[in-house]
Amino acid sequence: MAMFSRRQFIKTGIAGALLLAAAAYFQKPLDRAGKQALVAGNPLDASLRTVIPAIAPVILQGAFPSGAERAAALERIVRGVAQAVGALSATSQKEVAELFALLAFAPTRIAVAGLTPAWDQAGAAEIEGFLRRWQHSRLDLLKSGYQALHDLVLGAWYADPQSWTAIGYPGPPALVKS
């Protein structure tokens, strides 16, 4: 393993200090957003409605409808994700709220997700790049964030009976009363 030069060490220290200062500065708005999302009737409503409609079609490539069905499918996924998050423990809800608040807040979206345009302006390739970076990150925290987003979207999609025909699933077997 190569040793850091003095210059690299100083640059890394300065970059780390700036990152910590930015995190401390932005933590208060993120905390407020997370708390407000949990207090509202629908957990994460604003930030969830910002992030999920952008990432769901990318995660569900090939299975996601286009045309007139797209808007209705996005709404069902948003409702499904909100419902799934609402069923989590309070601690897990808070963590997911913080994840969505982090992704919805422009400065942290740019810094952590590397996504400059707003979610509704980002292209599929940019969103796919963000998802891949998090999926293959060296940081376990980002990998966990990717896994949460992935599992929430897939769970909401495949729990929706309207998605079952596309995959040939007839639905759960009917119980026969004896």
**24-81 pLDDT, tens digit each:** 565 555 555 445 444 444 545 688 889 999 999 999 998 888 888 889 999 999 999 9
Sequence ranges of the domains in the chain: 20-163
Predicted local distance difference test score (pLDDT) of residue 59 = 96
Is this structure's pTM higher than 0.75? no
Residue with tokens 């200062």: 21
Query: Do the Cβ atoms of 155 and 143 come closer than 8 Å?
Result: no
**119-165 pLDDT, tens digit each:** 999 999 999 999 999 999 999 989 999 999 999 999 999 999 988 88
Query: Do the Cβ atoms of 80 and 157 come closer than 8 Å?
Result: yes
d(CA 149, CA 28) in angstroms, rounded, equals 23
Predicted local distance difference test score (pLDDT) of residue 2 = 54
